């Protein structure tokens, strides 16, 4: 199987305890408008760059960074046979940024890339990394992009709820933004508990819209 398919969360399916197939967090948060993305695509167009091609290439590099981090966390050997030399070189820039960050912290891995479903709210999601970070039970979500945006807070807050609903303690939530090249940098953003609850309220309302559209047969 293609390595991108193996590591892509988009192919994960989620089921409640009674066997109902439910939407993933990414699908639900996809209902949000993304004005920053529209502006960015327009800027690329003005520079004569095909935004669709750019996104595809950037996504593959971002996926590879995520894969390298996951292999490092789990101790698996990375299979890079599906990637070009250029893609590997770019991804290693981001991966080394993660390693530099990790050296500054005490990280005790509990699990990574683990999917859960919520019986209460009927949705699912895959958590990137759950660990004890400097002694605190922490949900870490890895992002490979130019910035951290509100819709990402909505998404990771839904992951935190999945962990809690399935019996795991969450003391803090962290987004690690790992740039895909030297220009995109590295950023860490903690979400405080009060904010997380508000963002999860946004998610629950999006989930209501998702199921209403499904009931209507929205086209």
Give the fold, CATH level 3, of 17-216: Lambda Exonuclease; Chain A (3.90.320)
CA distance 50 to 156: 30
- In whole angstroms, what is the distance from residue 22 CA to residue 9 CA? 14
Residue 122 pLDDT greater than 90, yes or no:
yes
Q: What is the mean pLDDT of residues 175-199?
A: 89
Secondary structure percentages of the chain, helix, strand, coil, to 5: 50, 20, 25
Location of structure tokens 């003391």 = 171
Strand, coil or helix: 187: strand
Cα dihedral value 32, 69, 23, 3, nearest 10: 110
Q: List, in order, residues 6 or more apart from 25 with CB less than 8 Å away.
A: 123, 124, 125, 155, 158, 159, 162, 203
**Confidence (pLDDT) at 144:** 87
How is the chain split into domains, by residue range?
Answer: 17-216
pLDDT in tens, 26-85: 999 999 976 554 553 455 455 555 445 545 567 888 899 999 999 999 999 999 998 999
Place of tokens 């209403």: 212
- Share the mean pLDDT of the chain: 87
pLDDT score at 33: 72
d(CA 143, CA 124): 19
pTM, 2 dp: 0.84
Alpha-carbon gap, residue 101 to 119, rounded angstroms: 36
Six-digit token pair at 83? 């990637």
Q: CB neighbours of 171 closer than 8 A, spacing ≥ 6?
A: 136, 137, 138
What is the distance between the alpha carbons of residues 168 and 5, in angstroms, rounded to a whole number?
28
Length of the chain: 219
Contacts 24+ apart (CB under 8 A), 48-52: none
Residue 183, pLDDT score: 80
Contact predicate 112/128, CB 8 Å: yes
**What is the structure's pLDDT at 45?**
52
């Amino acid at each position: 199987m293609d390595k991108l398919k193996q590591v892509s969360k988009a192919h994960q399916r989620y089921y409640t305890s009674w066997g109902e197939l439910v939407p993933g967090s990414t699908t639900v948060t996809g209902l949000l408008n993304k004005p920053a993305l529209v502006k960015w695509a327009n800027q690329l167009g003005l520079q004569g760059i095909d935004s669709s091609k750019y996104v595809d290439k950037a996504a593959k590099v971002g996926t590879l960074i995520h894969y390298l981090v996951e292999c490092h966390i789990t101790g698996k050997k990375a299979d890079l046979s599906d990637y070009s030399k250029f893609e590997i070189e770019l991804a290693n820039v981001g991966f080394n940024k993660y390693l530099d960050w990790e050296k500054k912290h005490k990280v005790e891995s509990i699990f990574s890339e683990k999917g859960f479903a919520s019986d209460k709210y009927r949705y699912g999601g895959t958590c990137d990394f759950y660990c004890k970070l400097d002694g605190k039970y922490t949900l870490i979500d890895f992002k490979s992009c130019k910035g951290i945006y509100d819709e990402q807070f909505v998404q990771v807050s839904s992951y935190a709820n999945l962990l809690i609903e399935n019996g795991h303690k969450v003391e803090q939530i962290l987004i690690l933004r790992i740039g895909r090249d030297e220009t995109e940098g590295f950023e860490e953003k903690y979400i405080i508990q009060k904010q997380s609850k508000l963002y999860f309220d946004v998610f629950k309302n999006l989930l209501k819209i998702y199921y209403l559209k499904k009931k209507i047969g929205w086209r």
